[in-house]
Amino acid sequence: MPLSPIPRGVYPSVTHISPRALAEKGIKLVLADLDNTLVPYKVTRPPAEVAAWKEELEANNIALFLLSNSRKPGRAREFARQLGIPYQGHSGKPKRAGYLQAMERMGAKPRETVMVGDQIFTDTLGANNAGVTPLLVEPIRLAGNPGRYIRYAVETPFRLLGKRRPFV
Ligand SMILES: [Mg+2]
């Protein structure tokens, strides 16, 4: 659905998104946001549960790809290296280009791809722009920046609409 800010389901965390259920839907590629989706801001190491989720994705023939807007030099690269996955930093979400380049690199079509992220106006909107199914997760931690609470409040109607139509 182009230009829609509505996600397909809202999940408590990435590990609540079942790799097997994604595989049953024909998904081959998961694009994942970094900050507040896989780890809190400033955390540099992948937690064990994220590493286990990546392994379970791969066991279901699904690739995980880090699609981050982080402007911190080396942050996305270093996180992706530790997790053993490909990445794109400065990805320009919600513009389509980053999503399209990631799918081209990974040899996946939009209908075979989901985006997992915590922000409606970057992750979700961009995914819909690119024809990719957007899955929303609750932000790991809002504390630390007042702007995050304001953004979360503005996102709430879209979050509620998304809860009604989960993809998996
Ligand atoms: Mg984020």
Give the C-alpha distances (Å, rounded to integers) separating 162 from 1, 10, 77, 120, 135.
13, 6, 31, 10, 9
Measured in Å, residue 140 CA sits from the centre of ligand 1 at: 9
Measured in Å, residue 61 CA sits from the centre of ligand 1 at: 25
Neighbours of ion ligand 1 (CB under 5 A): 33, 35-37, 118
Element housing 158 (H / E):
helix 146-163
| Per-residue model confidence (pLDDT) at position 3 | 80
Which ranges of the chain have pLDDT less than 70?
1-2
Q: What is the pTM of this model?
A: 0.97
| Per-residue model confidence (pLDDT) at position 2 | 54
Measured in Å, residue 125 CA sits from the centre of ligand 1 at: 13
